[in-house]
Structure formats: structure tokens, C-alpha cells
Amino acid sequence: MTEAILLVGGQGTRLRPLTSHIPKPLLPVAGVPFLTHQLARAAAAGVTRIVFATSYLAELFEDEFGDGSRLGLELEYVVEETALGTGGAIRNATERLRSAPGEPVLVFNGDILSGVDLAALRDGHRASGADVTLHLKRVADPRAFGLVPTDAEGRVQAFLEKPQTPEEITTDQINAGCYVFTRSVLDRIPAGRVVSVERETFPELLASGAHVRGVVDDAYWLDLGTPAAFVQGSADLVRGEVASPALPGPVGDALVLPGAHVHPSAVLSGGTVVATGAVVGEGAVVEGSVLLAGAEIAARASVHRSVVGRRARVGEGCVLDSVVIGDAARVAEGNELPPGLRIACGAHLPAHGVRTSASPVPCAAQGIAHSGVPHASSAAH
């Protein structure tokens, strides 16, 4: 399995404002763009060439990774001019593959943090003679997911829509967003139109008698689609809850990147990341949070399970709990921000209030693309 398709076309709307100017897979997670972790794990499993299926802000992927040589990979980029769905995106990227019809191809999503053993997934696929192998995950509450029941031999029995009643929950197994396809099966996906791999491709394979195999394991798995999950995934990587060859430092309670400045009296814990150029002031407490490049946490501020964007500033004595501060935003001293609040890129939050100023700092003036009017809003998932 030397080739892979990486699906990175989504807009990451649930992570706004973090994704207003950068695709979700390129957000820094545990000190490096999230895709760096995935690319490193794929390379460790023997993958040497990856085709990116891109759409939203597509040019930024090539700007970041280039030809892939820095990671020991060969990378190619395919852009969807119009949205084609998951199956359509896979089919679009398939045109650039070089694998022979019988060879396995890895297909995976650019927003899933997973500890699945990719080499074992490939080996099991080949040994079983499957047409496609799906990584499945057991979850405590599967109501938000499509269900994928399997028989005793691991053959997939059905693909079920999100259950609406308790009676419809026939299994706790869900599609974990990582597959091994036999190359010839990818060529069967219709080209040039919208296709859902979950609702069309997989059910049609079952109906045709194809061997669709599911592999359930208890490896770490997290969809990084929400701010809470984004923060958790970064912290879990830093603390070693899930391994990555790309982690830019030893595992521990905090990761402080070169060029960051942390006052000796500040307390960092819970897998916090302090990026290059970020500043943490005297007596500040930062727990389980992500401070992006150039962020500033003033003296005696308290930041918990939050994200502070690039060149954003949190004033003295502020208290943040599960909050997202957009790039170049300013939170004046003394604010206590409730869980779920999101401060948009470039916004000003005055002392002791949650109203933005009439003249917010323009993101463009900070060298940051800006996609809308700055505002303060509560999170909506």
C-alpha cells in the first residue's frame, strides 16, 4: 500500500472563526499543522505517495507541504471546482493514482485523529481478499452517526442511517473515516458527479455482493470538528494519549515551542501548547489550551480548555473557560468569558463586557485574511 487519497475539502464551519482563513486540516494541533501528524503516520505505514482531494482554500495545502519531500513523501493536489461529495472527491483523486488494479489504496479523512494501525489494516485487507476494508469504532452514543453492523467474520451487513429511536440502534459500531480500497473498486465510483461514499458507494457494493470488511478496534479516535474536540486532540497528543511521529517535542503536561516566552511564575498544564512568539505573563494559569503563534496571555489571566488565535491578546485577570478567541482579537482586562463563547477575528472585547467595538482591528492589517464582520457569538454546533 504505497498510495493514499487524503480528503481535505471541507470548510470546517463548526470551528469558525479558527477556519475563517485556514482549512481545518492545517490548523496547528500539538505544535504542527494537523495533517503533519497524519502524513507522518501514513509514511510510517509504508505509504510513499498521497493525492490530496482539496477544495476550500486549496492553494494553502501546497503552500504548506509542497512536493512532500520534507516528509519523505510524494504529494499531488487535486482541486474540486464544484463540490462532489465524499465519493465524488475520492473518484476525482483516483485519476491521479498509479497503483495497479489489484493493489490496496489507503483513503482517509483530514480531520480525524486516530491511533489505528494502518499497516495492520492493509495486511488484513490483503489477507481477507476484501474489496474494501473499513475502520470501525465503537462509541457510547451512536445516534449522531451512521451505523455499520458486521457479522462474526467481520463482513459488513448494512449501512444504516442515523438512528432516530432506541429501537433503531442495532450496533454501537460507526464508520471511523479510514478505508483500504482495492484500486479497481475506486475506478467503479461514477466520475464527474456528486457521490456519497457512505450513502451510495458502500451500499451499492454490498448490494452487488462485494466483500466489504469492517475492522473494529479500541484505538484512540477523535473527530476534530468542534472547538472542544480540537483542544482535546491537541492536548492528548502532547500528553501521549495518542502517538505521533510528528510531535515536535517530548510528551508531557505542556509543549512550549521555540520562540515562546513563559514567565517563570506561570503555570502550564493539561497538554497546553504555547506556539512560537506567544507570551504567557506573570502568574497566568493555562490548562489544556492552545495558544497560537504570537498570542498573548497577560498577567494573572486564567485560560482553561480554550483556543487563543494568532496575535490575539487576553488581558490581565481574564478568565476563559472553553472559549475560542479569533486571530488578532483583543479581550480587555477583567473579562470572565462563559463556556462556548467565540470572539471573531479582529474583534475588540471591552473591559467587563461581551460587546465588540465599532472599529475592530482589521484582520487584513494583521496579515490575516478576513471572511466576515467581527462579532462575538455563542457557539452553535
Contact 283/263 with Cβ under 8 angstroms?
yes
Per-residue pLDDT tens digits of the chain, which is 381 residues long: 899 999 987 776 788 888 877 888 899 999 999 999 999 999 999 999 999 998 777 789 889 999 999 999 999 999 888 888 889 999 999 999 999 999 999 999 988 999 999 999 999 999 999 999 999 999 888 877 888 999 999 999 989 877 777 777 888 899 999 999 999 999 999 998 999 998 899 999 999 999 999 999 989 999 888 899 999 999 999 999 999 999 999 999 999 999 999 999 999 999 999 999 999 999 999 999 999 999 999 999 999 999 999 999 999 999 999 999 999 999 999 999 999 999 988 999 998 654 433 333 333 323 333 322 233 333 332
Q: Residue 238: inside a domain, yes or no?
A: no
Last residue of a domain, one of 223, 238, 261: 223
pLDDT at res. 361:
37
Q: Residue 237: inside a domain, yes or no?
A: no
Here the CATH number for the domain that contains residue 30 is 3.90.550.10
Last residue of a domain, one of 223, 244, 263: 223
203 with 65, same domain: the answer is: yes
pLDDT at res. 353:
55
| Nearest residue to 100 via CA among 201, 213, 2, 224 | 2
90 with 42, same domain: the answer is: yes
80 with 158, same domain: the answer is: yes
261 with 180, same domain: the answer is: no
187 with 272, same domain: the answer is: no
Q: Residue 230: inside a domain, yes or no?
A: no
Q: Residue 188: inside a domain, yes or no?
A: yes
Task: Write the pLDDT tens digit of every residue in 316-334.
Answer: 999 999 999 999 999 999 9
Taking the C-alpha atoms of 228, 234, 235 and 239 in order, what is their torsion angle to the nearest 10 degrees? 150
279 with 218, same domain: the answer is: no
Q: Residue 303: inside a domain, yes or no?
A: yes
Range of the domain at 150: 3-223
Task: Write the pLDDT tens digit of every residue in 66-78.
Answer: 999 999 999 999 9
330 with 197, same domain: the answer is: no
Q: Residue 219: inside a domain, yes or no?
A: yes
| Calpha distance 154→169 (Å, rounded) | 19
pLDDT at res. 192:
87
61 with 198, same domain: the answer is: yes
Q: Residue 136: inside a domain, yes or no?
A: yes
Tell me the whole-structure pTM to 2 decimals. Answer: 0.86
Burial class (CB in 10 A: 0-12, 13-18, 19+), 380: exposed
pLDDT at res. 355:
43
H or E element that contains 376: strand 376-378
Burial class (CB in 10 A: 0-12, 13-18, 19+), 11: middle
- Write out the DSSP string of 123-181: HHHHHHT-SEEEEEEE-S-GGGS-B--B-TT-BB---BPPPSSGGG---SEEEEEEEEE
Taking the C-alpha atoms of 106, 90, 72 and 237 in order, what is their torsion angle to the nearest 10 degrees? -70
